[in-house]
Chains A and B, each alone.
Chain A
Amino acid sequence: MSSRTHHKSNSVAACPCCGLVHRIGSIPAHMRACCSRCNSRLHRRTGALQCNRRTTALALAGLVLYPVAIGLPMIRVDQFGHHNDASILEGTATLLSSGHVLVGVVVLLCSIVLPLGKLLSLLLLSAGGMMMRREHRALTYHIVEFTGRWGMLDVLLVAILVAVLKLGDMVEVSAGPAALAFTACVVLSLLASAAFDPHSLWSDVDTTSANKA
């Protein structure tokens, strides 16, 4: 087996960008292997733990912002001098309790459950993926994939709301403190999943399967 800093010599990997398959020699410390054709980084590292530090950090940052993002006022609506602050949590509760069950459930899923699920599973995979069983890794990764597609609706929702409700002086909608946190949260979870390298999830499995074989 290779040491921590040196990659297994003479393994092969396809470039994630252009698909050209490379032979990767031993990688010295603080160096990385790059594609000879398009210069992209070849996603092969020593271990998932080291490789996905970036994802861990970003997901952690997203989780720190998450309670603020859903708990504090997101939008502020002024109508004839009445003003009303609405946080995502309050808004969802109001929707559900006032009978708009369908819309309420959609908002609950898209803006509360799915983003949280995505961030949590990313954190789990990137920080403790090596300790999980393979089928659980796969399942968690599928969750990340699925939730990622649905977690961005909120910003779109706010954008539409602002466009619809900006009716001059009668109704005014402005962003609250949570809007910043929520946007940061969404961006962080995007970056975290972009930085995540699913291949690394199985980097330890190669040897085990090989040993088994």
Chain B
Amino acid sequence: MNSEVNNSSENPGDSVQNPADLPEAIMRSDGRSSWIWIVPLLALILVGWIGYRAWSLRGTVITIHLDEGYDLRVGDDVRYRGIAVGTIRSVVLSKELDGIEIQAALHTNASGLARGGSRFWVVRPQLDVTGVAGLETIVGPRYLAVFPGDGPPSDRFVGLNEPPFVESIEPGDLEITLATPRRGSLRAGAPVLYRQMQVGTILSVGLASDSSSVEARVRIHKPYVRLIRPETQFWNAGGIDATFGIRGMSIQTESIESLLAGGVGLATPQFAGEVVRNGHRFMLADKAEEEWLAWAPAIPIGSSLLPAGAMMPTPMRAVIGWTEGRWIKSDRSQQGWVLQTKSGLLGPADLFKPDGEAADGGVQLVVAGESIALKGNHQVYVGGLAVLPEQVNTSIWPSSRRRHATAPEDCLVFAGPTSKPLPLAASRLTEAEGGWQVDPALGLDEFWHGAPVIARMDGTLVGLLLVEDEMAKVVLLSSEKVEAPKP
């Protein structure tokens, strides 16, 4: 058999040599080669990983119908608030040839934008007298902008042909209608001005449904909604009001912007009624009357440090005075701020009770110029706050606008109406027993004693600032009562 093998066709050239003369092969140990099966396993893991990544980046696919494509291409971005939140997958003509269908894949973390009421529009360069928009798309690619709605999740949308004039439509904006016999210089996108400050935008201008007048839909931005009352007057602020006289020519215009673009001015008198509801109709006058321009009502529209529309507290100065000592008499007094609440005056407990022994009948509390007899019926709460059941005639801080706070947060401290609110950053506050210790470096003095502390986050009252021996502390509102002081 061996000779048969050797003589077989395998190595015909070797047959000349005697197999016995051939060198012997060396034997070496052969590692088990089953490890090689790790390689397909690794390949499977790699495929799984790549597949998972591709799957997780796939996002939510939505379809948008647009009338005009404006050179939008596959691979362009969907953007929201200036960053890419998705990609255009396909751009095709719709079946009925009446527009285009865009398929876009939103990134997984932006899938919340795919909901009813979301608006999509193509951002492209636009130049007009009121400004320039979409400048970055002159050289860069067009992109699809989105503004989220608040409806249920959806995957089919109809895009806007024109960018919405108010890109940041916030819930809480007010929409009203202005009616005027003639269009004048009204145009969509023009500003609505209060004291020449823009407080809103004209959304659209068109004929009324019965064609008897021209109607303008106006959106008033949320912080300024309180300016719009039933007695508010609107006038056409576009164009120039030129008068010729012996002193020459005087030209009046609301602002350069409204001169070019046309705009609407508004003024509100002192007692103008409640804030109007959505859809309220106003007449638009041709020009402002002298009287309107003189109106200067104080309408709180909130501070920019507080959430828009938040109410600002109006604390009152309270002074308690008493006489001390039996033989050697000395006058003592303590000052601070108190806030009118429904159940009474909220303030530091030491404003409602003399600190130490008072001579009989010598205690007197004056709040906002009014003397109040102290009967010792105030309720003291844990931490040093007290409520005196007295009503002094000013606005009442609603009980809905107070809450319990725990960890230090950014606050504003309000003293009287003449001083500016003092911001207190959370980093300046350290948690202490019953409140937050204020960083002594801020140097808060006795003037701030009893000043209300408003949370910046939601504009609610969280406590009062108590200053004792140069140490300021925010004492948080507490419902825990201290036993009524013994008379």
Contact = CB atoms under 8 A, between A and B. Distances in A.
Contacts, number: 142
A61 interface: yes
Nearest to B77: A81
A195 B34 CA distance: 14
B29 interface: yes
A53 B20 contact: no
Given A23-B25, A34-B27, A80-B141, A61 B8 contact: no
Interface stretch (B50-58, B109-117, B362-370): B50-58
A68 B53 CA distance: 12
Contact of A81 (B25, B36, B47, B141): B141
Contacts of B393: none
Contact of B26 (A33, A61, A84, A209): A33
Given A64-B43, A213-B8, A10 B2 contact: yes
Nearest to B11: A12
Interface in A57-81: 57-58, 60-62, 64-65, 67-68, 72, 80-81
B5 A61 contact: no
B440 interface: no
B36 A58 contact: yes
B133 interface: no
A161 to B, nearest CB: 18
A177 B54 contact: yes
A55 B285 CA distance: 90
Interface residues of A, number: 53
Given A65-B43, A81-B141, A206 B5 contact: yes
B25 A22 contact: yes
A21 B11 contact: yes
B19 interface: yes
B8 A57 contact: no
Contacts of B22: 12, 21-23
Contacts of B76: 81-82
B14 A12 contact: yes
Interface in B6-34: 6, 8-11, 14, 17, 19-20, 22-30, 32-34
Contacts of A95: none
Contact of A21 (B14, B39, B54): B14
Contacts of B23: 20, 22-23, 36-37
Contacts of B14: 12, 14, 21
A64 B33 contact: no
B25 A65 contact: no
A29 B70 CA distance: 74
A167 to B, nearest CB: 16
Interface string B40-73: 1011101100110110000000000000000001
Q: Which of B1, B9, B30 has the most CB of A within 10 A?
A: B30
B30 A61 contact: no
Contacts of A210: 1, 4-5, 8
Chain A binding surface, main DSSP class: mixed
Nearest to B6: A12
B37 interface: yes
Contact of A34 (B20, B26, B33, B73): B26
Interface in A1-28: 8-14, 20-25, 27-28
A21 B22 CA distance: 7
A136 interface: no
Contact of B24 (A25, A32, A39, A85): A25
Interface in A163-213: 177-178, 180-181, 184, 188, 206, 209-210, 213
Contact of B28 (A31, A188, A209): A31
Contacts of A85: 75
B74 interface: yes
B316 to A, nearest CB: 60
Contact of B32 (A30, A34, A39, A184): A30
Contact of A57 (B27, B39, B141): B39
A14 B73 contact: no
Contacts of A10: 2, 5-6, 19
Nearest to B42: A61
A125 interface: no
B28 A72 contact: no
Contacts of A21: 11, 14, 17, 22
Contacts of B42: 61
Contacts of A54: 33, 36
A181 B36 contact: no
B485 interface: no
A57 B28 contact: no
Contacts of B25: 13, 22-25, 33-36, 42
A83 interface: yes
B27 A27 contact: yes
A36 B47 contact: no
A209 B7 CA distance: 11
A184 B54 contact: no
B328 interface: no
B8 A206 contact: yes
A72 B36 contact: no
Contacts of B36: 53-54, 57-58
Contacts of A13: 11, 25
B82 interface: no
A32 B8 contact: no
8 contacts: A32-B28, A36-B24, A53-B36, A61-B40, A68-B46, A82-B141, A210-B1, A210-B4
10 tightest A-B CB contacts, nearest first: A61-B43, A33-B25, A32-B30, A61-B40, A23-B22, A57-B36, A22-B25, A81-B141, A64-B43, A60-B40
Interface of B: 1-2, 4-6, 8-11, 14, 17, 19-20, 22-30, 32-34, 36-37, 39-40, 42-44, 46-47, 50-51, 53-54, 73-76, 139-141
Given A53-B36, A57-B37, 9 more contacts: A11-B6, A12-B22, A24-B25, A27-B27, A53-B34, A57-B36, A61-B39, A184-B43, A209-B8
Interface of A: 8-14, 20-25, 27-28, 30-37, 39, 42, 53-54, 57-58, 60-62, 64-65, 67-68, 72, 80-85, 177-178, 180-181, 184, 188, 206, 209-210, 213
